[in-house]
Amino acid sequence: LQSTSESPVAVETLDDVPEHVLRGLPEDVRLFPSAVDKTRLGVWATKSILKGKKFGPFVGDKKKRSQV
């Protein structure tokens, strides 16, 4: 049994995803609950994605391979 004093865990939904992110997803990529963290959305491919495939728009800081 769960204690009633525990606060509910917020679960990320598609409503939380900015519109530009949804527009930038390739045709064969979907957002579904993460396999790693069920409270977050994860990126799932509905078919293989070729190595080097680019999609976007990119938002964030670009990193060199040595930094990741």
Q: Which domain holds residue 40?
A: 14-45
Region of poorest pLDDT, from 25-29, 44-48, 54-58: 54-58
Instruction: Name the domain count of the chain.
Output: 1
Nearest Cα to Cα of residue 20 among 54, 53, 57, 55: 57
Residue 8 lies in a domain: no
**Average pLDDT, integer, range 43-55:** 87
Under the banding of pLDDT at 50, 70 and 90, the label for residue 2 is low
In this prediction, residue 55 carries a pLDDT of: 74
Residue 68 lies in a domain: no
Contacting residues for 36 by C-beta, under 8 A, at least 6 apart: 42
pLDDT for the residue numbered 37: 93
pTM here is 0.60
